[in-house]
């Protein structure tokens, strides 16, 4: 291991400005190499994400690696809950200036005891840029490549708004809301969300939640606590009054010019009528009427999910990056790391 390297837990709430700036420099350098499609991260963007971790993935814990007192590497671990409570969603990032010196491996070694202490049995990572140092590192540690995901972006300035035609197929009507699902729809909305179980997830350990009205309400409350604005559009089947399809988007307070597209699902009996495209187009229309300053919307889709990818392309999204997800059984990883 690199002489003088120290790895320890990191609490952003009581971190020094020097450490926070070091953390930012690592994130920025990774972005420049692995995510050149994104607008350059600012220091405030990175602080904002530390203050507003992703919602719905459980508690998050951080580690940093310091060399000569300067932060040169980090780990971000979300301890997923419920159906996915066996997973530690683990991201390790090392500044390119000091890669291939064992720092990434040392950070992972520091994380592993906490994964074990919290009852995890699987270490999983979702967003490694295909062909990057991260993919090669994961392969060298015998992580299994289990899923490929496309990152697609709709860049609003210059986009052709004619693509967002939202003519509603006969037999359906649209409803929409910000924040809270209307009470008359919540049960059927939860049932429709379970159509996400049909989305291809490859060999991921992650399992889509089993949605109920209570879980929908709990998620809404968590988003509110984190000042995240949630917008949803659904297609309601006229003759039954049931939600046939839904799409959701989050607006995060620290990155006000980006929309994060979340779940889109059409339940099986209602597929093939163009509902997915219609509800997504309507969401974009509605959002831009209120937020003409929005710069872009990001969405991730399984590489094998041809229908969703095509719908996104029809709406003007382009693929900006391919990412791989990897995982490894924790006990196997512990044994592997003992040899390093
Ligand atoms: C992945 C990452 C954290 C690795 O950090 P690192 O400090 O360079 O990793 P290590 O020095 O511990 O690498 C250990 C071994 O992995 C393999 N490895 C790491 N990077 C590699 C590369 N670019 N090409 C080939 N093998 C590589 C090597 O076998 C290496 O041992 P060696 O240098 O003795 O040959 C770093 O590349 C990174 O920050 N990438 C961006 C973020 C990311 O994709 N993380 C992925 C996992 S969450």
pLDDT in tens, the chain (340 residues): 688 999 999 999 999 999 999 999 999 999 999 999 999 999 999 999 999 899 899 999 999 999 999 999 999 999 999 999 999 999 999 999 999 999 999 999 999 999 999 999 999 999 999 999 999 999 999 999 999 999 999 999 999 999 998 899 999 999 999 999 999 999 999 999 998 888 888 899 999 899 999 999 999 999 999 999 999 999 999 999 999 999 999 999 988 899 999 999 999 999 999 999 999 999 999 999 999 999 999 999 999 999 999 999 999 999 999 999 999 999 999 999 999 8
Answer whether 149's CB lies under 8 Å from 298's CB.
no
Q: Is 49 exposed, middle or buried (0-12, 13-18, 19+ CB in 10 A)?
A: middle
Residue that is written with structure tokens 């512990």 in the block: 334
What whole-number distance in Å separates Cα of residue 267 and Cα of residue 234?
11
Answer whether 92's CB lies under 8 Å from 107's CB.
yes
334: enclosing H helix or E strand: helix 330-338
| CA-nearest residue, atom 31 of ligand 1 | 100
Listing DSSP states for 142-179 in one string gives TPEEEEEEEEEEEE-TT--GGG---PPPTTEEEEEEES
Ligand 1 pocket, 99 CB below 6 A? yes
Ligand 1 pocket, 244 CB below 6 A? no
CA of 139 to the centre of ligand 1 (A): 9
Ligand 1 pocket, 134 CB below 6 A? yes
What whole-number distance in Å separates Cα of residue 22 and Cα of residue 14?
15
Beta bridge partners of 327: 124, 144
231: enclosing H helix or E strand: strand 229-237
Q: Mind listing the domains of the chain with CATH numbers?
A: 5-148+324-338 (3.40.630.30), 160-315 (3.40.630.30)
Answer whether 321's CB lies under 8 Å from 152's CB.
no
- Ligand 1 atom nearest the C-alpha of 132 is 44
User: Quick one: residue 17, left, alpha or beta (phi over 0 = left, psi -120 to 50 = alpha)?
Assistant: alpha
Residue that is written with structure tokens 């009581």 in the block: 14
Answer whether 16's CB lies under 8 Å from 24's CB.
no
| CA-nearest residue, atom 23 of ligand 1 | 133
| CA-nearest residue, atom 35 of ligand 1 | 100
CA of 104 to the centre of ligand 1 (A): 6
């Amino acid at each position: 291991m690199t002489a003088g390297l120290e790895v320890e837990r990191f609490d952003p709430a009581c971190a020094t400005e020097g450490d926070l700036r070091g953390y930012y420099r690592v994130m920025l350098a990774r972005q420049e190499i692995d995510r050149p499609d994104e607008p350059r991260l600012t220091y405030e963007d990175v602080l904002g994400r530390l203050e507003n971790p992703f919602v719905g993935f459980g508690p998050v814990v951080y580690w940093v690696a310091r060399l000569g007192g300067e932060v040169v590497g980090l780990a971000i671990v979300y301890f997923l809950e419920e159906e996915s409570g066996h997973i530690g969603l683990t991201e390790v990032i090392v500044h390119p200036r000091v890669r291939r010196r064992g720092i990434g491996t040392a950070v992972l070694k520091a994380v592993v005891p906490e994964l074990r202490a919290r009852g995890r049995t699987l270490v999983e990572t979702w967003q490694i840029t295909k062909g990057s140092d991260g993919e090669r590192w994961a392969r060298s540690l015998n992580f299994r490549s289990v899923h490929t995901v496309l990152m697609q972006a709709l860049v609003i300035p210059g986009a052709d708004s004619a693509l967002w035609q939202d003519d509603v197929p006969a037999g359906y009507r649209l409803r929409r809301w910000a924040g809270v699902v209307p009470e008359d729809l919540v049960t059927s909305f939860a049932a429709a969300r379970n159509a996400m179980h049909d989305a291809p997830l490859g060999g991921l350990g992650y399992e889509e939640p089993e949605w109920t009205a209570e879980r929908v309400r709990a998620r809404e409350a968590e988003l509110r606590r984190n000042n995240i604005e949630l917008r949803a559009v659904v297609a309601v089947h006229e003759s039954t009054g049931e939600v046939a399809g839904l799409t959701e988007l989050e607006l995060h307070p620290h990155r006000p010019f980006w929309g994060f597209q979340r779940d889109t699902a059409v339940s099986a009996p209602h597929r093939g009528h163009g509902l997915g495209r219609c509800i997504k187009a309507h969401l974009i229309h509605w959002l831009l009427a209120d937020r003409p300053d929005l710069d872009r919307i990001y969405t991730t889709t399984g590489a094998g999910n041809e229908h969703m990818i095509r719908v996104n392309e029809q709406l003007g999204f382009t693929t900006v990056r391919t990412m791989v997800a990897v995982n490894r059984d924790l006990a196997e990883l512990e044994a592997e790391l003992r040899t390093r």
